[in-house]
Amino acid sequence: MRRTPENKLKVVAVRVEPAIEQRLRLLAEITGRKQSFFLQRMIEEGIAGMEETWLPPEVLAQVREGSLPVLPPKEESTPDLFSE
């Protein structure tokens, strides 16, 4: 699929424990794939379970129907549960 401004991939930064980063790096080096390939696969294959757990039922229904709620761009980042 050719990327357009509408379907351009987005960059997401994430902090992980050193042991997880090492495992990811090992996986990438041994297979010859990029770390981003594996991270993208993990997210795509695991997001449905996270949505089931964390989204309210009405929002989950919208996601399953393919009509994602439009969120305005954020100026500030939201503090995460794992921030230092």
* Domain-embedded: residue 28: yes
Better-predicted residue by pLDDT, 36 or 84: 36
* Domain-embedded: residue 70: no
Which pLDDT does position 72 carry in this prediction? Answer: 79
pLDDT band for position 79 (cuts 50, 70, 90): low
Which pLDDT does position 70 carry in this prediction? Answer: 79
Contacts (Cβ under 8 Å, ≥6 apart) of 28: 34, 35, 37, 38
The tens digit of pLDDT for each residue in 21-68 reads 999 999 999 999 999 999 999 999 999 999 999 999 999 999 999 888
* Domain-embedded: residue 10: no
Question: CA-based Rg of the chain, rounded to a whole angstrom?
Answer: 16
* Domain-embedded: residue 31: yes
* Domain-embedded: residue 74: no
Q: Show the domain range for 41.
A: 18-65
* Domain-embedded: residue 37: yes
pLDDT band for position 84 (cuts 50, 70, 90): low
What distance in Å separates the CA atoms of residue 44 and residue 42, rounded to the nearest whole number?
Answer: 6
Which pLDDT does position 61 carry in this prediction? Answer: 94
* Domain-embedded: residue 76: no
DSSP annotation string for 51-81: HHHHS-HHHHHHHHHT-PPP-PPPSSPPPPT
**Number of separate domains in the chain:** 1
